[in-house]
Each structure stands twice: as structure tokens, then as C-alpha cells.
Amino acid sequence: MRKNKNKESKNYLDFIPIKNPDMKWDVDENQVVTFHVPLKGFFAKVAQVAFNRPKETHISLEEYGNFIWPLIDGKNTVFEIGLKVRDHFGDDAEPLYERLVNYMRILQGNRFILMEENF
């Protein structure tokens, strides 16, 4: 199948990340964001019953993610978030947009955020 060469490509930096309203999360007194992800499915249920495994897992963000999370407000684009990351972390953020896009894709892949087109 041939791709349409006239089709406009979309720049990931123009997307607006949005916190997934279906995801449970909280922020502790140290400003650390923790997600509470339910463990579902047949094998998870078996493990919960047979091996007393928890019904949810807890995933905490690191310094970079804890800085980015409040910036995900449904208004800032990935590009704008990157500018704020650069201002805060300076050279430690480099290569800035490669890392930021990869990070956003991980958050999106884990359904912590959704991406909205800003076109």
C-alpha cells in the first residue's frame, strides 16, 4: 500500500498531553507522583488468591517526571513543556526533546496520559 506523499505529517511536539481521568494517582508531601494501577486479568486474579499478591501496583515518578506531571494541564504542548524543563534542568535535560518525547510516549503507552492534537 502506498503512502500519500501530500499528507501532512504531524509533529509530536505540537500535541497536548492530558492526564488520563481513568488513572488513579496522588502526590505525597515530597511532591512525588504515584500511580495506582489495578492488576486485572485471569493470571493476576489467580496470583492474588493463591499467592496473596496485591490487587494494584504503585508506580512512582522520578525527579524529571515529578517536574513534568503538573505541567500536563491540557493546555501546554509537548514543546512548551520542553521549554520549562530546559529552564529548570538546564544542560542536564539534554538531549531535551528526544528524551521528553520518549518519556511522553512511555506515559502514553502506560495510559497515564492521553494526547490531543493541537492543529
Inform me whether the pLDDT recorded for 43 exceeds 90.
no
Number of domains in the chain: 1
5 assigned to some structural domain: no
User: Is 34 among the domain residues?
Assistant: yes
Set of cell numbers at residue 101: 518525547
pLDDT of residue 10: 84
- Distance, in Å, from the CA atom of 117 to the CA atom of 13, rounded to the nearest integer, reads 10
**Cell 490487587 belongs to which residue?**
55
Query: Would 2 be classed as within a structural domain?
Result: no
Full residue range of the structural domain in which residue 60 is found: 12-116
User: Is 1 among the domain residues?
Assistant: no
pLDDT at 56 over 70: yes
Q: Domain for residue 7, yes or no?
A: no
Phi then psi for residue 60, to 5 deg, are: -105, 140
CA 75 distance to own-chain centroid: 15
Write phi, then psi, for 44 (nearest 5 degrees): -65, -40
Q: What is the mean pLDDT of residues 24-45?
A: 93
**Does the residue 4 lie in any domain?**
no
Tell me, what CATH number does 99's domain have?
3.90.930.60
* pLDDT at residue 48 greater than cutoff 90: no
Question: Within a domain: residue 20?
Answer: yes
- pLDDT of 75 strictly over 90: yes
